[in-house]
């Protein structure tokens, strides 16, 4: 199954227009249409202010070229979502600001029209996290932080990804969604989790 998924990592200034549009369309489908989140939408594309801050995009496409997964990586030395949009999740803890810590946001997957496998979502998740791991190693990054739902946090743990909560460790209702801030150490445990097919 993983052989049918094409993985890529793009700097914002090197991404082609078609892939960029597909990322924003996928995010629109997942966050606006499916989850009903209050996110900025332009012409059926979900685009926010952080997309202008030199992000890195990770993508997963099926063998027909259809985008089926993506995430965005932001530097914590600039503005980023945990620090500047959801600081309440940190409680009294200082927001991370380090070249060795990056933020994952806008993590989204959708079902392919060409891959027929009950484990597809898991494989797509593995694929984008594999690319995130490789990017971190290449850049000397030691940790990712992420604002996510409790459901996604549980899913990451099921996959074996090492996570721990920031702030006081308690979840918080944000826009009707039970949310947490987590960190993921980029270590051997992370590598084993995302490169081992369970």
Please say whether the beta carbons of 180 and 163 come within 8 A.
no
SS3 state at 131:
helix
Confidence of residue 64 (pLDDT cuts 50, 70, 90): confident
pLDDT at 106: 97
Higher pLDDT, 83 or 111: 83
Q: What are the domain boundaries of the chain?
A: 2-195
pLDDT at 117: 61
Mean pLDDT of 60-72: 92
CATH superfamily, domain at 2-195 = Gcn5-related N-acetyltransferase (GNAT) (3.40.630.30)
- Judged on CB neighbours under 10 Å (0-12, 13-18, 19+), 11 is exposed
Instruction: Please indicate, yes or no, whether the overall pTM of this predicted structure exceeds 0.85.
Output: yes
């Amino acid at each position: 199954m993983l052989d049918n998924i094409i993985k890529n990592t793009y700097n914002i200034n090197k991404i082609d227009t078609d892939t960029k549009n597909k990322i924003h369309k996928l995010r629109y489908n997942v966050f606006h249409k499916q989850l009903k989140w209050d996110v900025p939408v332009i012409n059926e594309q979900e685009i926010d202010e952080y997309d202008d801050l030199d992000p890195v995009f990770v993508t997963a496409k099926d063998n027909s070229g259809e985008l089926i997964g993506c995430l965005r990586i932001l530097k914590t030395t600039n503005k980023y979502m945990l620090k500047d949009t959801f600081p309440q999740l940190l409680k009294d803890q200082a927001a991370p600001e380090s070249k060795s810590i990056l933020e994952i946001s806008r993590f989204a997957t959708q079902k392919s029209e060409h891959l027929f496998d009950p484990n597809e979502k898991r494989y797509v998740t593995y694929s984008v996290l594999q690319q995130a791991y490789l990017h971190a190693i290449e850049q000397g990054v030691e940790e990712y932080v992420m604002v996510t739902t409790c459901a996604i946090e549980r899913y990451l743990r099921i996959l074996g990804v090492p996570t721990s909560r920031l702030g006081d460790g308690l979840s918080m209702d944000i826009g009707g969604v039970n949310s947490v801030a987590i960190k993921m150490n980029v270590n051997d445990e992370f590598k084993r989790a995302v490169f081992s097919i369970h």
